[in-house]
Structure 1
Amino acid sequence: MDVRVDGYADPAFRGVREVFEASFADGSNLGAGVAVYAGDRLLVDLWGGLADSRTGRAWERDTPCVAFSCTKAVTATAALQVADEHGVRLDEPVARWWPEFACAGKESTTTVELFSHQAGLPAFDGPVSVAEAADAGAMAARLAAQTPEWEPGTRHGYHALTFGWLVGELVRRHTDSTVGAYTRARLGAELHIGADAAVRERTARSEFPPAAQQVWSDTDPLDAATVARLAEIFRDPESMLLRGTTAPGGSYNGPEVQAGGWPAVGMFTTARALAEFYRDLVRGSLLRPELLQVAVREQVRGVDAALGLESAFGLGFMRPCENFIVPESARRTVFGHPGAGGAVGIGDIDNGIAMAFIPNLRRDWLAGDRRAYQLIEAVYAAL
């Protein structure tokens, strides 16, 4: 497949360009962007392919695309910034700043537990419409009234959608602003958690590969028992993961979802803008260095109650694990968050690296997707 890749890569990072170009040549990518900062220097800013295969619209330099759960790191940073500015103690109960949360066994749940997927609220207790999901206050109130699925602090389980409304409530209560508005004003003007009409018009269409390419084919490094457990989770509509990812439901190509501002998964942005966010984070412009060190410090690791495989979390940031596989060269120092279908954003304080990759073809690493892994590997090979 002959696809033009535009943009710039420093000669020292030509390996990143080669990996990116190869991903179009072999059909792994439809449209995508990748960006890398080393310190303040933008050393890679590449894009290529199609933003929409139906119309043939090309992926341009400023084409935004949904980044899915990469959003969580941005929402967590907004909430940490607000907590720091308003004197919120992270080790104290959520109820100190959210009194309505103190019910149904959640009275002692700490803000740290909220940030690290330990709160026991991985899913809503009933259906949620796309229209309802646009009301952040209503979503938070509903979660505050729920009984947790485990005693908070005793387990961790991925809060795939609820994370955004739980952690985002800290922003809403202290600033009277949505996470989206706060993020654009304070963290990055091109980080759209809630896309307006002009952004939606430019946004890449999220697409799936052929069915045959969605079958699990490459389970390394998981063992057979873990794979069997995952298969069972994905077959069960009542599993914690399925309940946590389908309510609210809706198409990420639809204007209601794109405009909805879902603060766990609803960010539409470019790879360059997401890499800029991590650049600013790593250099201490968004969070005090001491607070950032706390935020990326591992709080939990082990089999995730929702995902069924190993996950590891700091305060909203993921650390390398079975659900966030990175090359050995990056494993000790990298933090960030992956997103559904292959997207990723990472930071590395020790090496001064910030990187993001956002594709519109939604692949699964269990079906052999190694696009992000190979790009990260190329970045660290260039250091």
Structure 2
Amino acid sequence: MINGWTAAGFEDVAGVFELNFADRGELGAAFAAYQHGQLVVDLWGGTADRETGRAWDRDTIQLMFSGTKGLASAGVLLLMQRGQVSLDDPLSRYWPAFAAEGKDAITIAEVLSHQARLPWVEAGYADLLDHDVMSAHLAAQAPAADPRAAFMYHAITWGWLVDELVRRVDGRTVSRFFAEEFAVPLGLEVWIGLPEELQWRAATMVAPDGVLVDGPWTELNRPNPLWVPGAEKIWNSFEYGSAGLAAVGGFATARGMARFYASLLGEVDGVRVLTPETIELGRQEIRRGIEPTWGSEIAYGAGFELQTPDARLGAPADTFGHAGAGGSRHAAWPSRETAYSYLMNEVRVGPDDRSLTLLSALSRGSRATAR
């Protein structure tokens, strides 16, 4: 059931990965890590499709929901590195229609850190997969009056806002921009929107038993359309896979995502896209506080999640990255020169130790092998 390898010093990670299947009911998953620019963990196992029994193999690709936000954030940082935008710029400077209904002063920093007061779409989600329609809805929409919206996770709307910024400044979609500026030069098995010819490699997502809920969204009668009963039909559809949603439409192998975050820490096979200075800018804390969707402390840099007391991205204090709905985790630990990715196809809500146990084992290995 378990395949792959680990470098010397990381053997414990493989043991924990196997225990996730034996003791924690893992269905299908992959875990990979880089240290000092080299792959040191590459593990996979279980079932990619429960209905057909298809095994998870080395080339299985997985939807990662909000893990996508780390990729899109890197795209905005590259625009900053080139001097094309800055964090303090109002979004309306590049997207004039966005100034409607008093939104003219909302900055790029506020958008990236979930402070744009647009956590839902008042017009609804009938055109969920049509970027032009959904971005137009947000441009016309007034900021939410509910005080909780001042710092509320923009689960899906974040992507339309960021994608529109990139389109206005660069002319390419976030999907194409990431592919051409990051994925191709770095050799990444990572996509924002999965090409048609690769969809057969994708694992099938499995929703948890019971009702998916979204806290304040549900209270306000604005449910997240991707987090309601039956939503797995959307997750696993060809149309969703192809849409390239910049907030929640990324696909990858764990190996590819670990390599991406490794490239943010230094050269990988001689290639680095973002400079150390740009990464420091991206890691600079913009907002920290109790986020009402989760009811816990959340901290954001320029789109990246930062360390908080629950340490859900790992123990090092300088961690940055992004988690995905249902349990996936992707991040970098600069002080350890370590980057990792955990992907799985069984979505869980509530307590979930699958990734945390792997990160504890990775932490032990990265300390023992640190330079």
Instruction: Give 2:15's aligned residue.
Output: 18
Most deviating of 101-110 and 143-152: 143-152
Structure 1 runs (4+) deviating above 6 angstroms are 151-154
Distance 2:215 2:323 in 1: 23
Q: Residues 349 and 232 from structure 1, CA distance in 2 versus in 1: closer, same or farther, beyond 3 angstroms?
A: closer
- Corresponding residue number in structure 2 for 1:227: none
TM-score by length of 2: 0.89
CA contact (8 A) 1:119 1:153 kept: no
Per-residue Cα deviation, 1:231-277 (whole angstroms, up to 9, x for no partner)? 964763615xx347559x66211111111111101111110001011
Q: Match of 1:289?
A: 276
- Local SS of the residue matching 1:23: helix
What is the DSSP-based 3-state SS (H/G/I as helix, E as strand, rest coil) of the residue aligned with 2:67?
Answer: helix
Name the structure 2 match of 1:353. Answer: 338
Once residues 240 and 364 of structure 2 are traced to their aligned partners in structure 1, the CA distance between those partners, rounded to angstroms, is: 38
Q: Which amino acid aligns with 1:268?
A: F
Contact 1:324 1:337 in 2 (8 A): no
Pairing 1:159–2:172 present: no
Q: Which residue of 2 aligns with 1:303?
A: 290
Deviation for aligned residue 1:139? 2.1
Of 153, 172, 175, the match for 1:177: 172
- Post-superposition offset of 1:349: 1.7
Letter in 2 for 1:344: R
Describe the SS at the equivalent of 2:13.
helix
Q: Contact (CA 8 Å) 1:282, 1:347: kept in 2 or not?
A: yes
- Per-residue CA distance 1:272-324 (angstroms, 9 max, x = gap): 00101101112172322112112112111112144433211111000123676
Match of 1:115 among 109, 112, 119: 112
* Secondary structure class of the residue paired with 1:114: helix
2:152 aligned counterpart, secondary structure: coil
Counterparts of residues 253-264 of structure 1 (less than 5 Å) = 253-264=236-247
User: Match of 1:275?
Assistant: 258
Structure 2: distance between partners of 1:180 and 1:133: 16
Match of 1:374 among 348, 357, 370: 357
- Residues of 2 paired with 1:26 and 1:153: CA distance? 39
Q: What residue number does 1:102 align with?
A: 99
TM-score (norm 1): 0.86
Deviations 1:200-247 (A, max 9, x none): 111000013555xx99xxxxxxxxxxxxxx9964763615xx347559
1:67 aligns with 2:53: no
What is the rounded CA distance, in whole Å, between the counterparts of 2:146 and 2:54 in structure 1? 49
In 2, Cα distance between equivalents of 1:268 and 1:101: 29
Partner of 2:196: 197
What residue in structure 1 maps to residue 6 of structure 2?
A: 9
Distance 2:203 2:152 in 1: 31
Report the Cα distance in structure 2 between the residues aligned to 1:15 and 1:205, rounded to whole angstroms: 28
> Pairwise mapping of residues 32-111 of structure 1 onto structure 2 (< 5 A)?
32-111=29-108
Q: Determine if contact 1:180/1:194 at 8 Å carries over to the other structure.
A: yes
Distance 1:191 1:97 in 2: 28
Q: Structure 1 residues 300 and 153, CA, compared in 2 at 3 Å: closer, same or farther?
A: farther
The answer to whether the Cα contact below 8 Å between 1:82 and 1:170 also exists between their aligned partners in 2 is no
**What one-letter code is carried by the residue in structure 2 that aligns with 1:156?**
F
Structure 2 counterpart of 1:128: 125
Amino acid of the residue matched to residue 20 of structure 2?
Answer: S
Q: Read off the aligned partner of 2:258 and give its amino acid letter.
A: A
Q: Check 1:338–1:16 CA distance in 2 against 1; reply closer, same or farther (3 A cut).
A: same
8 Å contact from structure 1 (residues 337, 345) kept in 2? yes
Q: Give 1:224's aligned residue.
A: none
Change in 2 beyond 3 A, CA 1:166/1:234: closer
Q: Does 1:145 align with 2:144?
A: no
CA apart distance, 1:171: 1.5
- Given that residues 109 and 152 in structure 1 are in contact (C-alpha distance below 8 angstroms), is that contact kept between their aligned partners in structure 2? no
Aligned partner of 1:44: which letter? V
Where 1:287 maps in the other structure, the secondary structure is coil
Matched, 1:338 2:323: yes
Unaligned runs of 5+ in 2: none
Selected match of 2:28 from 27, 31, 39: 31
Distance 1:232 1:53, change over 3 A: closer
What percent identity do the matched residue pairs reach? Answer: 35
Distance 1:108 1:36, change over 3 A: same
Name the residue aligned to 2:299: 312
Deviations 1:311-345 (A, max 9, x none): 11111000123676245x32x11111110111010
Partner of 1:222: none
The CA distance in 2 between the partners of 1:62 and 1:138, in whole Å, is 34
- Aligned mates of 1:138, 1:282 — CA distance in 2: 37
Q: Do the aligned partners of 1:119 and 1:152 also contact (CA within 8 Å) in 2?
A: no
The answer as to whether partners of 2:123 and 2:137 remain within 8 angstroms in 1 is no
